[in-house]
Chains A and B, each alone.
Chain A
Amino acid sequence: MRVAGEVGLAEECVQDAYVAALRAWARDGIPANPAAWLTTTARRKALDALRRAETLRARRRLLAEPEAYEADVAVETVPDDRLSLVFTCCHPALAREAQVALTLRLICGVSTADIAKAFLVSETTMAARITRAKKKITAARIPYRVPAPEELPERLDAVLTVIHLLFTTGHTAPSGGRLVRSELVDRAADLARMLRELMPDEPEVRGLLALLLVNDARRATRTDADGRLVLLAEQDRSQWDSDAIEEGHRLVVEALRAGGVGRFVLQAAIAALHARAPTYADTDWPQMLVLYDALSAAWQSPVVALNRAVVLAMVDGPAAALAEVAALEHAGSLAGYHYLPAVKADLLRRLGRHSEAACAYRDAWETADNEAERAFLAARRAEAASRGACGPEEGAGD
């Protein structure tokens, strides 16, 4: 930044440094301090770039079929190197999770701690997985090479996962003071748009773009003027970006018509149903439950099961949902995931079981790392505790 003098150029230089880094690392192995290596390389790149400002632009490269893009000025101006790097990093010789984690770390700059949160594992575990993947890259000499067009489909699912996790990490930051990290959200949306240009007929690509558009359409209303969290039920729907929601809805319809019933299309369908409902209470909850059942069938995930429980509460009442949440809690796969006690707390609150709700809010507060979410949970906890305090023994074994 200091050398480049402006964010745009600095970003380009860092990006360029990543390209150089991956080439050099594939050749010589990963350096002991990759961050310092990148900074040094980026600074040198910035100096080069200032001397020959047009060079970087000229070096841009498209993944496939460059002639298809020439007419589209908008696409030419987006940093396509990053998408090709994502495809490059998602090499099938690496385990799927390693592909995604390594790409988020090296290409998208997400911290190991935040990646660990996304995968619901400890930071130590994730650091070990990333190290193992880097070792394999070096030992097996996995090359830096932009994949050929016919290689893209086998890497697509990992690429979709990378972009989605990049988005969710920005949409609700796993740690820190702000709820939203706009730069990550915007970068994910850019990547999704580029991917749509590259693979326009893939239903899951449409689904992912739709999911990002619809969820991000609510960005302005998710916190109040003081940065405090505002729940979906209380958000000002008139302030949502209706163009983005309609674009997302159209993409979902197209994808469903094309036979897409993958996890991204279905998540986008759920998000669009929420976004197009006139009010929270008037949401089509039975339809929402049908979509969640389809999503659960397409994608075995305890997080999906937890979200389905929230919808079940709207259809069959909080008691039915609480039983599902208790089963998930018993299964243990969501240990450390603060949304589990948060959902449980809300269900208990609605059932009038205030002291148990206070305990669950405390559990959620203790595991959450985002300040906006913690403030919300603390307020809810205080409110529940005023109607029935959480005794020390009650919470301890819960």
Chain B
Amino acid sequence: MAQYAVLIYERETPGGVADMPPEVMEAHRRVPERVRELGGRIVSAYATQPSATATSIRADVITDGPFIESKEALAGFFVIEADDLDQALAIGRVVPIMDGGVEVRPLIQE
């Protein structure tokens, strides 16, 4: 098994998680079960606070906001174990996305 980070990017809503439709929340809750069905395993998973809460450090200068400004903000990430990239992508596809996408990145392993 290889490990992949699945990075979730979403267009942010003013109220953050509170603005998410219940069916999307429900779909998120089902993700672990879908991952198991697909033969993968979640190693760890996190959702981040809205990007307005982010603080960046660049060359010792501390600034308000995310490191990279974009339409879609990093909303959360999880680490999975999968056989190969195709399986990891299949898992990435079950993450409910309203207006953004996911990025799948292999992790460096020993």
A-side residues, CB < 8 A to B, are: 26, 93, 139-143, 145
Contacts and interface: CB of A to CB of B under 8 A. Distances in A.
Contacts of A143: 83-86
Which residue, of B2, B4, B86, B104, has the highest number of chain A Cβ atoms within 10 A? B86
A143 B106 CA distance: 13
Given A26-B84, A93-B89, 17 more contacts: A93-B85, A139-B106, A140-B4, A140-B85, A140-B88, A140-B104, A141-B2, A141-B83, A141-B84, A141-B85, A141-B106, A142-B84, A142-B85, A142-B86, A143-B83, A143-B84, A145-B86
Interface residues of B, number: 10
A359 B9 CA distance: 56
A269 B85 CA distance: 40
Which residue, of A26, A140, A142, A145, has the highest number of chain B Cβ atoms within 10 A? A140
Nearest to A151: B86
Contacts of A145: 86
Contacts of B2: 141
Which residue, of B4, B85, B88, has the highest number of chain A Cβ atoms within 10 A? B85
B14 to A, nearest CB: 35
Contacts of B86: 142-143, 145
Query: Interface SS of chain B: helix, strand, loop or mixed?
Result: mixed
B69 to A, nearest CB: 25
Contacts of B106: 139-141
11 contacts: A93-B89, A140-B4, A140-B85, A141-B2, A141-B84, A141-B85, A142-B84, A142-B85, A143-B83, A143-B84, A143-B86
A-B interface, 5 closest residue pairs, ranked by CB to CB distance from nearest: A143-B84, A141-B84, A140-B106, A140-B85, A142-B85
A91 B82 CA distance: 18
Which residue, of A26, A93, A139, A141, has the highest number of chain B Cβ atoms within 10 A? A141
Contacts of A141: 2, 83-85, 106
A18 B85 CA distance: 21
Nearest to B4: A140
A145 B85 CA distance: 11
Contacts of B84: 26, 141-143
A138 to B, nearest CB: 9
Nearest to A142: B85
Interface in B88-110: 88-89, 104, 106
Interface string B1-33: 010100000000000000000000000000000
A139 B85 CA distance: 9
Contacts of B4: 140
Contacts of B89: 93
Nearest to B108: A139
A201 B107 CA distance: 41
Nearest to B86: A143
B43 to A, nearest CB: 16
A140 B83 CA distance: 10
Nearest to B104: A140
Contacts of A93: 85, 89
A243 B106 CA distance: 52
Contacts of B83: 141, 143
Interface string B72-89: 000000000001111011
Contacts of A139: 106
Contacts of A140: 4, 85, 88, 104, 106
A139 B106 CA distance: 6
